[in-house]
Structure 1
Amino acid sequence: MVSRLAIRASGGPKILQPGRFSMPSLRFPRAWLLSLAVLVMVCAVSPVWAQAAGDAFAVRGVDVDVTAANPQAAKEQALAEGQERAFRTLLERLTQPADHARLPKVDGTLYVRDFSVDQERSSATRYIATLTVRFNPTAVRKLLQGEGIAYAEPRGRVLVVVPVYVPTGGRAVLWDDPNPWRDAWNALGGGGLVPVAVPPGDLADVQTITAERALAGDVQAMQSMGARWRTSDVVVAVASPSPGGKGLDVSLIASPSAPKPFDSIAYPLTEGENLDAVMLRAVRDISRGMDTVFKQPNLLAFDRVGSLSTLVPLAGLADWLNVRERLSQVPQVRRWELVSLSKAEAALVLHTVGEHDQVVAALQRAGLGLEPAEGYWIMRPVSGR
């Protein structure tokens, strides 16, 4: 069994072998040190996954329709109801279904950072609009932690969606216009817990992957597209009208590490819905499904707080930058401290949340392997990641 001596309960950092983690008296090239100082400050304060928080804590496509005595009253009621509904959507996005029944019943408008009206129309007594509501991430996290409810942080690595549309009786369309399926993905606005990027279809995109190669699940083309976004996660989303035009058939072709909610599914048209509307509904549903797949193994249990003493072998600055970037993709690592540094190795204390096995698995998914040593762990990038 792997030793767990180096992970412990909360109470402050503890270096288990002070001599082993002491600062060596070595001289470094001045440029190396200046670059390192800037990078340490950036990564210790603003991890990459925090950059996705803006999208994860924003709820888009909130439809409101309220009738009241006059247009102003209808608008005020609609905006308040929309913000409350968006807040509930956000809390459910961040947490597991088993906890939804005990989500706190508070005034959601108190957690709103700002909101925008994407489209609106009104009459003498009615107000109809679509809203985007953005919430204060710090306040929402504090609320859930105070209630003892586990939640997931935004994913640090973007997922690239390649949207292929196959019209009835026509050829597959990817970068050409019109592509209403690509338009629907662009309208998503960045995804939720899993940040989603839709390539713009520039010359480099056209040269990287075609509709035919995407439909074939061409591994090399998908990897090349992911490399342009510095990610290994690519999903080819294929949509076509159902026979008779009664709905939308969707299938997903995904790279191994991408959170894929299903292989194929049919979305029937609902009453009053056209093909463009069902595409928007399908895109939102797929995004929620991706969030769910990602969320299950990444819930942060704040009653399990610990620290992990690690030693990272280095062959140079590039190795350090690689490890630093991968660490920033692990939500379970809330922060880390650089204890000592030399040209050959770095000693770090990782401050973590969650069960030990969850932390180790999260590091592994980010491409960082742990090997037990005497009272500490050796951490190094996993080959091929």
Structure 2
Amino acid sequence: MESSLRKTYKINTFVWVTISTHHTKILNWIYILMFRLSQIVNLFGFCCITLVFQTLYSTSVKADVFTIRNVEVNKKAASELTAKAKALASGQRTALSLLLKRITMLYDHDKLPKVNDELVTELVRDFSVSDEKFGGGRYLGKVNVRFRPKAVRGLLEKMSIPFAETASRPLVVLPILAEGDTQLLWDEPNPWFDMWGEYARSDGLLPLVTPHRELSDISLISAEQASSGDLAGLRAVSEKYKTRGVLVLIAQFSEIQEREVQRVEIKMINFGKNNLLDEKLFAYESQTEMSLTEFQKQVVLAQIQQLEEDWKQANLLSGGINNTMTALVPAERLSDWLEIKKRLSRVATVKHVEIRRMSVRETEIRIRFQGATDQLRVALEQNGLGLSAYAGRNVWTVERLDQ
């Protein structure tokens, strides 16, 4: 007698099939056949999308390192249109100078080319303006300039000037002012915190973020917990601001009266990868009769410059040094592969990705990259990807860090 058993099977995301049968073996055989067919269909779509990725990879957008924003311009001329033309030309020259200094080491800045209109024309991709004001033959505004990465790299390589273009994920800064036995973090006034809030930049190769001083910040960590390296509190702050770590800067200012100078001793606690703490000590002295406010400003700028130089030094690239590696990308779902593909396209040092082999569980790729393997690992981490050796095989694995 025929059974009234009915079962529904999911073939793929879009197709469900309901089958009536009187024989379990036939039902299972049909299911297996349909499942295999769905794998073929999914793999075909997978191949098509990865082929598009491989074709378009070289034109994908990297990190926004080659864009300089909010360059203020102010020019006066016989007419406002003439003033605008002069201001925009000046703004693009300033932006190019800032870009070249952003990605090169401080000790190489005197080797950089002289910026002129001809060089600007060669390297600028496009620009935009905002906050425009006209009046009395004067033009004021802000200029955002995007540069051609390949042309900028070519210029520096031709001049044998090493450069860095790997942008770090942001760091959140906790500036603590030590006054005797008291430590100030969220308290006001805290001029040390205010100075970092004014001069820390959220763009460039090493974005720095200062907290908003909200009630939720106060509940996450205290000055005493931060200065003692409380891992749970530091991790909570990093998670709230979505940064790769936390930088605690404990400053104690004093005055050397006989020499009429200010002095500061700074303890820097860097909380980052693998929940590890790294501590460093710094000391600065002011020029004679420099005010405390000006001294604090100069110290903050010096610290920011040192942090940026350290990051650039660790990620410095020399022209023409390219390497390749074979890597496996575990991705059973198409959405996983698409996300990994998108993140790979944002890694500045990755120059080309070739798809070697695909299966429903993993993809084998060949990566051509600039710099050393450790530099590639750092660059991948800034984009949420991990690079590790594949156990028992002479290949690497690239996978998401947030899974």
TM-score after normalising by structure 2: 0.63
Partner residue, 1:305: 322
1:50 touches 1:154 (CA, 8 Å); kept in 2? no
Partner residue, 2:173: 161
Q: After TM superposition, give the deviation of residue 351 of structure 1 in Å.
A: 3.2
Q: Is structure 2 residue 184 aligned with structure 1 residue 177?
A: no
Matched AA of 2:284: A
Q: Distance in 1 between matches of 2:59 and 2:296?
A: 34
Q: After TM superposition, give the deviation of residue 163 of structure 1 in Å.
A: 2.0
Q: CA separation of 1:65/1:332 partners in 2, compared to 1, >3 Å: closer, same or farther? A: closer
Partner residue, 2:14: none
Greater alpha carbon shift after TM alignment, 73-82 vs 355-364: 73-82
Q: After TM superposition, give the deviation of residue 213 of structure 1 in Å.
A: 0.9
For residue 152 of structure 1, the aligned residue among 158, 164, 184 is: 164
Partner residue, 2:300: 283
- Give a deviation string over 1:142-195, Cα, whole Å, max 9, x none: 133234133211424211112223357854132x33333232222233153111
Q: Distance in 1 between matches of 2:340 and 2:350?
A: 13
Partner residue, 1:233: 245
- Give a deviation string over 1:287-337, Cα, whole Å, max 9, x none: 221221111232233413354332223465786588558746743223535
Q: Is structure 2 residue 265 aligned with structure 1 residue 252?
A: no
For residue 198 of structure 1, the aligned residue among 200, 204, 210 is: 210
Q: Secondary structure at the match of 1:292?
A: helix
Partner residue, 2:281: 263
Greater alpha carbon shift after TM alignment, 92-101 vs 317-326: 317-326
Q: Distance in 1 between matches of 2:239 and 2:334?
A: 22
Partner residue, 1:367: 386
Larger RCO: 1 or 2 (CA < 8 Å, sep 6+): 1
Q: Secondary structure at the match of 2:174?
A: strand
Q: After TM superposition, give the deviation of residue 361 of structure 1 in Å.
A: 6.7
Q: Secondary structure at the match of 1:161?
A: strand
1:49 touches 1:157 (CA, 8 Å); kept in 2? no
Q: Is structure 2 residue 77 aligned with structure 1 residue 58?
A: no
Q: CA separation of 1:169/1:261 partners in 2, compared to 1, >3 Å: closer, same or farther? A: closer
Matched AA of 1:160: V
Matched AA of 1:179: N
Q: Distance in 1 between matches of 2:305 and 2:315?
A: 15
Q: Distance in 2 between matches of 1:247 and 1:362?
A: 37
Partner residue, 1:103: 112
Q: CA separation of 1:31/1:312 partners in 2, compared to 1, >3 Å: closer, same or farther? A: closer
2:167 touches 2:379 (CA, 8 Å); kept in 1? no
Q: Distance in 2 between matches of 1:350 and 1:202?
A: 44
Q: Is structure 2 residue 305 aligned with structure 1 residue 295?
A: no
Q: Distance in 2 between matches of 1:98 and 1:208?
A: 40
Q: Structure 2: which 5+ residue stretches go unaligned? A: 1-35, 132-139
TM-score after normalising by structure 1: 0.65
For residue 137 of structure 1, the aligned residue among 124, 141, 147 is: 147
1:93 touches 1:193 (CA, 8 Å); kept in 2? yes
1:26 touches 1:342 (CA, 8 Å); kept in 2? no
Q: CA separation of 1:166/1:344 partners in 2, compared to 1, >3 Å: closer, same or farther? A: same
Q: Distance in 2 between matches of 1:156 and 1:29?
A: 40
Greater alpha carbon shift after TM alignment, 342-351 vs 241-250: 241-250
Aligned pair count reads: 348
Matched AA of 1:367: G
Q: After TM superposition, give the deviation of residue 282 of structure 1 in Å.
A: 2.4
1:50 touches 1:156 (CA, 8 Å); kept in 2? no
Partner residue, 1:209: 221
1:194 touches 1:294 (CA, 8 Å); kept in 2? yes
Q: Secondary structure at the match of 1:242?
A: strand
Percent identity of equivalent pairs: 26
Q: CA separation of 1:330/1:343 partners in 2, compared to 1, >3 Å: closer, same or farther? A: same
Q: Distance in 2 between matches of 1:94 and 1:161?
A: 22
2:326 touches 2:365 (CA, 8 Å); kept in 1? yes
Q: Distance in 1 between matches of 2:229 and 2:59?
A: 32
For residue 353 of structure 1, the aligned residue among 361, 365, 370 is: 370
Partner residue, 1:21: none
Matched AA of 1:58: I
Q: Distance in 2 between matches of 1:166 and 1:48?
A: 47
Q: Radius of gyration: which is bigger? A: 2
Q: Secondary structure at the match of 1:155?
A: coil
Q: Distance in 2 between matches of 1:49 and 1:182?
A: 35
Q: Distance in 2 between matches of 1:217 and 1:61?
A: 38
Q: After TM superposition, give the deviation of residue 236 of structure 1 in Å.
A: 0.8
Q: Structure 1: which 5+ residue stretches go unaligned? A: 1-24, 119-128
Q: Is structure 2 residue 197 aligned with structure 1 residue 186?
A: yes
Q: Distance in 2 between matches of 1:265 and 1:312?
A: 46
